[in-house]
Amino acid sequence: MHRTILITLLFSSMFITAQFGKNCELRQFKLNIANPGIEYEMALGVNTTFDIKAGLQVTIDPSVSEIYQDFEFYPAVALQYRYYYNFERRQRNRRPIYGNSANYIAPAVAIFAPGPRTVANEVVKGAFGYAGVATGLQRSYNSGFNFSADIGAAYYLGPFQGGIYPIANLSIGWILSEKRWCVGK
């Protein structure tokens, strides 16, 4: 009886493991030179990943009066829960999906930690951030070169009146280490 239960559990775990990471890379550690920093992406399911970036990121500052006139580099941590929706189509068209080379949609959040700054003759202190949705694409090559770009909209909040503004992210760099679990390499 115990042997039957053990064998059943072993076979069940094989099927569960086989479903994990079918299309997505299991994990990737990347260096970003467009927005200087590091990035880590890990598979959560068949077509989903969790992506975290830390470093300097270009952003608008909603505390200034002309927000689209002044872009700044601020220390930031950005998170995305990516759903890649075209792995199968890329595979059917014999295009590589290595390094999660596909298009995605993602809820996105970011926290920016600028130092005290002067805006309209007032000192503004404190972090600010956003929460929103983005759509984008990521491409990776066998050389390790990687880029991703996404756009969307988010609600910004912080030491100013919150509002909905556009978001855009660009990541250009290299995959430093990876754990492959990809069907269509």
Report if residue 14 sits inside a domain. no
Report if residue 57 sits inside a domain. yes
- Strand-pairing partners, residue 77, are 54, 111
Report if residue 185 sits inside a domain. no
Report if residue 184 sits inside a domain. no
Report if residue 13 sits inside a domain. no
Give the pLDDT of residue 5: 52
Range of the domain at 157: 21-178
Give the pLDDT of residue 65: 73
Per-residue pLDDT tens over the stretch 154-167: 999 988 888 999 99
Could you write out the DSSP letters of every residue in the chain? -HHHHHHHHHHHHHHHHHHTTSSS-SEEEEEETTTTEEEEEEE-SSSEEEEEEEEEEEEE-TTSSSTTT-EEEEEEEEEEEEEE--HHHHHHTT---TTT-EEEEEEEEEEE----EEETTEEE-S-EEEEEEEEEEEEE-TTSEEEEEEEEEEEEEESEEEEEEEEEEEEEEEEEEEE---S--
pTM of the shown model:
0.79
Number of compact structural domains in the chain: 1
Report if residue 147 sits inside a domain. yes
Give the pLDDT of residue 88: 87
CATH label of the domain that carries residue 64: 2.40.160
Report if residue 62 sits inside a domain. yes
Report if residue 91 sits inside a domain. yes
Q: What do you get for the CA distance between the two ends of the chain, in Å?
A: 42
Q: Which residues of the chain have pLDDT under 50?
A: 6, 8-21, 183-185
